[in-house]
Amino acid sequence: MTKVVPVILSGGAGTRLWPLSRELMPKQLLKLTGERTLLQETAQRLDLAPVVVCNHEHRFVVAEQLREVDIEARAVVIEPMGRNTAPAAAVAALMLAADDPGALMLLMPSDHLIADVPAFRRAVEAAVPLAEAGRLVTFGIRPTGPNTGYGYIKAGAPLPGGNAVERFVEKPDLATAQAYLESGEYTWNSGIFLLPAGMFLAELETHAPGMVAGCRAALDRGRGDLFFFRLDDEAFAGIESRSIDYAVMERSDKVAVVPVEMGWSDIGSFSALWQESPRDSAGNVVRGDVLVLDSADCYLRSQDHLVAVVGCRDLVVVATDDAVLVADKSRDQEVKAVVEALKRGGRPEATQGSRGWRPWGWFQTIEQGERFKVKHIHVDPGAKLSLQKHWHRSEHWVVVKGTAMVTCGDRSFVLRENESTFIPAGTPHRLENPGKVPLRLIEVQSGEYVGEDDIVRLEDAYGRGAE
């Protein structure tokens, strides 16, 4: 598969898994079913350097997660705003076609689970001759039940290794899904594609005029930024938002489907996550500090505090440090409505948790009130924050683990565990971790304003400006 290039789309928000998944830390960046995140599992499915397309907010987390599993990306492309999957695929195809128009682009969402990776690889190998023969190949999942949450693909005339696609079908009702299952002619639409880069662009030109030109302009006017490539904001903003299914796959007469059984799930709900997770003898999925009594078939997860569940059936109970969700498992699709209601109310919990990710590590807000905020700060080994100052707040730092190199005004000094310092408002300062273990400290902010946007960056290793 030397001509195959994995292209990973990492722009989704996963709102149906709130409060675990949020816009600023969506499901592909979480360890939902194992010891690796869904993004990491996706990147490791083929032993090939991927192109990753993600958004601005996630770029440093994406880069760090790839580094953790020793994946060196061919490119990490930053979208200035979401435009659905067709423009993201077009940008990747333009990049690949510039070197080799015959390159085969394996387009994969970053947030899907595939339990049987060898079966996935065999399916990709079976799809390569079809793609080389001029087909846009999609992978159809053999249905295990009449699922109404997936789109379907009806197979047409047989081809070597697969079938021509007769038609794509939107999510059906239960009776229709049952009929599809009994016919044996339909598979679930996985959203995974093997596409000849040059041919895909030609089909996109035919069925979505202007999109390729817009994506080309976004590339041509884009720029490198550290180890990322940023698409041009203005050019990309002018591109129509469309899915690859609607823009090309449902309209082209060159589409083929390769059926496969590979333990696939898009983890699109808590019931799907429950189905794909190890369960106890009563059918409960239990993650974190949870006490369960006389309960069955529940998804129970705590990321912080003790959660006790008594006498419950078919419930979802998820507790993070800043939110708790309790839902009937059969109504878990309605979790999206919770997020929408929170957004209408202007609640920050809709999009972000208490932990904020930065290129140097992360911080977590422990407590906040009038004129003060308390944070737990984690700085990765060898990393450093920007040289910065704050107009409206002072800061007290207490090191609880590791070693800190502190710059405060014209002084630089080392702080070790149980040592502290004070940073007056308006004073240029910087925090670095010169050690080989993570640096952790408690920061107490005090002043008339303690918002995250009170930062004037004077110098930054990550190319960020003042917030």
Residues 244 and 381 in one domain: no
Q: Are 199 and 254 in contact (CB under 8 A)?
A: yes
Residues 76 and 220 in one domain: yes
Residues 337 and 359 in one domain: no
Residues 10 and 146 in one domain: yes
Residue 247 maps to which CATH number?
3.90.550.10
Tokens matching residue 257: 């489907």
Count: domains in the chain? 3
Residues 326 and 419 in one domain: no
Buried b (16+ CB within 10 A) or exposed e, 196-232: bbbbbbbbbeebbeebbebbbbbbeebeeeeebbbbb
Residues 336 and 373 in one domain: no
CA atoms within 13 Å, Cβ hemisphere of 342: 18
Per-residue pLDDT of the chain (467 residues; tens, 9 = 90+): 558 999 999 987 778 999 999 998 999 999 999 899 999 999 999 989 999 999 988 998 999 899 999 999 999 999 999 999 999 999 999 999 999 989 999 999 999 999 999 999 999 999 999 999 999 999 999 998 898 889 999 999 999 999 999 999 988 999 999 999 999 999 999 999 999 999 999 999 999 989 999 999 999 999 998 889 999 999 999 999 999 999 999 999 999 999 999 999 999 999 999 999 999 999 999 999 999 999 999 999 999 899 999 999 999 999 999 999 999 999 998 999 999 999 999 999 999 888 888 889 999 999 999 999 999 999 999 999 999 999 999 999 999 999 999 999 999 999 999 999 999 999 999 999 999 999 999 999 999 999 888 999 999 988 776 55
Beta-bridge partners for 228: 225
Domain that holds residue 387: 355-459
Residues 297 and 395 in one domain: no
Domain boundary, last residue among 293, 319, 343? 343
Residue 244 within any structural domain of the chain: yes
Residue 313 per-residue DSSP state: B
Residues 184 and 302 in one domain: no
The CA–CA distances, whole Å, from 69 to 32, 34, 48, 131, 383 equal: 17, 14, 13, 30, 19
Residue 417 within any structural domain of the chain: yes
With 0.75 as the threshold, say if the pTM is over it.
Answer: yes
Inter-residue long-range contacts of 292-301, CB under 8 Å, 24+ positions, other chains counted: 297/329, 298/274, 298/329, 299/270, 299/271, 299/273, 299/274, 299/329, 301/20
